[in-house]
Amino acid sequence: AAGVIQSPRHLIKEKRETATLKCYPIPRHDTVYWYQQGPGQDPQFLISFYEKMQSDKGSIPDRFSAQQFSDYHSELNMSSLELGDSALYFCASSLVGDIGRYNEQFFGPGTRLTVL
Amino acid sequence: GQQLNQSPQSMFIQEGEDVSMNCTSSSIFNTWLWYKQDPGEGPVLLIALYKAGELTSNGRLTAQFGITRKDSFLNISASIPSDVGIYFCAGQSWDSNYQLIWGAGTKLIIKP
């Protein structure tokens, strides 16, 4: 079965640079979520999109922005990168319209961002 | 913000032993999810629970949605080396707009 695809898998940036992470949800899924996970921590919710509209916002810094495109893929844009932004970034998708399984979020393999 | 209490934080077990971990919340949830995460990989959904009292199995894994709607447990029977990893519980309440609230994780280590 098709899974969530994320690219790139690894990214190394310098401080104050920008980065763009991409996510391709499972086909037919209508909701995309972005998470940040630091070492030894649980995933921290950043932002979500339902049917290409922002649906919820978590602890996303103002330096970050995201959008979902007409083909349902999503991009997380990160500017003025700081050392503390080094983390694993996960995208997850779900089919909120599925009454019986709407909360089942399926995660991608993640992008490991290292800021030097 | 709101967080789940997941215990134990880590477990050292022998291969073949049964494992049990649980999560509790101060508020009522309408969904409990259990995930497993291997190092450097994304969490993988193991079991989803939607009804109070529901008991669901997935192979050697069994999870239950507590009657009070404030807790859930995950059992792994006859552990094998590939069970090693971090197990997370995640819950969702009516007012969280599909946001998942996560436990801190249980790290499972199998002694050689």
Q: Give the tens place of pLDDT for each residue, A46-100.
A: 999 998 999 889 989 999 999 999 999 999 999 999 999 999 999 999 987 666 6
Nearest-Å Rg of the Cα atoms of chain A is 14
With a CB-CB cutoff of 8 Å, which residues 38-97 of chain B face chain A?
40-45, 48, 50, 88, 92, 97
Q: If residue B85 lies in a helix (H) or strand (E), which one and from where to where?
A: strand B85-92
Count of CB atoms within 10 A of residue B67's CB? 10
Q: Residue B31 and residue A103: Cβ atoms within 8 Å?
A: yes
* CA distances (Å), origin A50, targets A30, A32, A84, A89: 6, 7, 28, 19
* CA distances (Å), origin A59, targets A10, A62, A64, A72, B1: 22, 9, 10, 22, 10
pLDDT of residue A95: 87
Q: Residue B45 and residue A106: Cβ atoms within 8 Å?
A: yes
Q: What percent of chain B has pLDDT over 90?
A: 81
Helix, coil or strand: residue B29: coil
pLDDT at B25 over 80: yes
Torsion of CA B34, A5, A97, A65, to 10 degrees: 100
CB < 8 Å to A112, chain B: 40
Measured between CA atoms, how close is B84 to chain A, in angstroms?
15
CB < 8 Å to B41, chain A: 109-110
Residue type, B11: M
pLDDT of residue A98: 62
Residue of B50, B99, B104 with shortest CB distance to A42? B104
B14 touching A (Cβ < 8 Å): no
